[in-house]
Amino acid sequence: MDTDMRHAEEVLRALFMQIIESHVQKGLSRKGITELLTELIELAENIVKQVHESTSGSNIACKAGCSLCCHSRIRLTPVEALWIFSWIETNFSSDELKRLHNRIQSNIYLTHGKNLANRVKIKNRTPCIFLDHNKCMIYPVRPMICRSWHSFDLASCQKAFQTGNPDAEINASASNNFVFFLARDTLGRVCNSFGMECEAVEMPKAILHTLECHDPFDIWLKGETMFSSNKPLSSPDSVPENIPKVIISFMELHAPAFFRRFSLSYFMDGSCIEYFLYSQEKKVEISKELILSHDNFSHALNVSKFYPEIFREPLSKYMSAICFSLMIHHAAGIWGLKSDTFISLETRSNVFETFYSRLLDFDFTIKYRRQSDNYSLRGIYHLPSIKIDTSMITPVAIV
């Protein structure tokens, strides 16, 4: 870094620090955090504006309605996530909140475990969770990383988007990057010195944590770990080594959403259990046939019928997967099934390809093919090392 840049950094850090310290001295609170970020960002934006006015500001290519860069992976600091959470609470309607939940779940599911190169391949399906009809739903409180991108050349953005090259060169404003990086970094250092989480995290997960937490501000201000841990909010303290993370995160991400939208009850008749699925919103039963049976002789679990009729619902595949997993774990608990018990079922080939083969926790494989495109499948029930909560599945009330 040359001397001029070092000097610019010192000056900017001092300016940002002044604002941060004045708020910290008043004592940080939910309101204080919002005011601090508003002021800090206002200052950073003013500095950037002045730089642009004195240099090449008129060449900025970014325009309302262009959202190419809103298909990138967005990371933000916990304090920014809290600021956004506060905005969502005040400004989002219940419909917008529902849509946001769906986008978050879809985004996390699609990007889980993927490296950057593989994420870029599916960027069309994973726009930012706040992008709605090419508009940012949280524009006044958007993260600093979004503010730090200003392109001077639309063609280079379009080329990068179309080719999907994560290393594509984009002619962008270095001053925006520099100023917002310093603002974010200075704020992070102060948060860190007070023992509060400051590591940047991916936005969908960070926002999900705030939404599913009773009082995220309180937790963060107490210095508890909330954002940077993979720990589910309601799970044991540590994730056992032998549980594939994908299973835990899938259940922990989608089960709460499932029970917000549906309820499950069951009726047991000897070695058969029938489940009934209700839509909370429509107040009707939507299951066709959900029947499991237990073979006392071989101790195998047989999925006699599984037609949850969720396919017309948003995120139907994930909801069906959760419904299936909950039924299996619930029945396994009732019948006291041991690990490595076989699960058998019959299905059509296309349903195997698109659904059962993706239920990673049951390892379904084709036992044999039948005529007319039907497969006989064999899966394995693994006793979970952490408790899968099925207490929300209640017996059918007998009238």
In the complex, the residues that contact ligand SF4 under the rule CB under 6 A are 70, 74, 128, 130-131, 136, 138, 142-143, 146
| Comparison of 136 and 334: residue with beta carbon closer to ligand SF4 | 136
Distances (CA, A) of 207 to 55, 201, 282, 394: 37, 10, 28, 31
One-letter amino acid identity for 317? K
Q: Least distance (Å) from ligand SF4 to the CB of residue 141?
A: 9
If the CB atoms of residues 128 and 239 are measured against ligand SF4, the closer one turns out to be 128
Smallest gap from Cβ 130 to ligand SF4, in A, equals 4
Distance between CA 378 and CA 342 in Å, rounded?
Answer: 7
- Contacts with 394 (C-beta within 8 Å, 6 or more apart), sequence order: 263, 264, 265, 266
Query: What number of other Cβ atoms are within 10 A of residue 99's Cβ?
Result: 16
Residue 246 and residue 226 in contact, taking contact as beta carbons nearer than 8 Å: no
For residues 6 and 8, what is the distance between their CA atoms, to the nearest angstrom?
5
Residue 357 CB contacts under 8 Å (≥ 6 apart), including other chains: 364
Distance CA(291)–CA(318), nearest Å, equals: 19
C-alpha distances out from residue 384 to 8, 244, 263, 345, Å: 55, 10, 22, 21
Q: Cα 318 from chain centroid?
A: 13
Q: Which CB atom, from 143 or from 216, has the smaller least distance to ligand SF4?
A: 143
**Smallest gap from residue 230 Cβ to ligand SF4 (A):** 23
8 Å CB contact between 282 and 73: no
Smallest gap from residue 150 Cβ to ligand SF4 (A): 12
Looking at the Cβ atoms of 146 and 291, the one nearer to ligand SF4 is 146
246/202 Cα distance (integer angstroms): 17
Q: How far is the CB of 92 from ligand SF4 (least distance, A)?
A: 14
Pairing of strands 272-279, 262-269: antiparallel
Residue 128: CB minimum distance to ligand SF4, A: 3
Please spell the DSSP secondary structure of 27-91, one letter per residue: ---HHHHHHHHHHHHHHHHHHHHHHHHHTTGGG----TT--GGGGS--EE-HHHHHHHHHHHHHH
Q: How far is the CB of 361 from ligand SF4 (least distance, A)?
A: 32
* Min separation Cβ 71 and ligand SF4, Å: 8
By beta-carbon proximity to ligand SF4, the closer residue of 130 and 178 is 130
133 or 214: CB nearest ligand SF4? 133
Cβ closest to ligand SF4, residue 138 vs residue 255: 138
Nearer to ligand SF4, 152 or 342 (CB): 152
In this complex, which beta carbon is closest to ligand SF4, that of residue 140 or of residue 195? Answer: 140
CA distance 275 to 267: 6
Neighbours of 343 (CB within 10 A): 22
Q: Which is nearer to ligand SF4, 7 or 125 (CB)?
A: 125
Indicate if the alpha-carbon torsion angle 312, 318, 324, 327 is positive or negative. Answer: negative
- Quick one: 74 or 251, whose CB is closer to ligand SF4? 74
| 3-state secondary structure (DSSP) of residue 391 | coil
Q: How far is the CB of 70 from ligand SF4 (least distance, A)?
A: 3
Q: Rounded to the nearest whole angstrom, what is the least distance from the CB of residue 153 to ligand SF4 in the complex? A: 19
Residue with tokens 């995120």: 315
Q: How far is the CB of 19 from ligand SF4 (least distance, A)?
A: 23
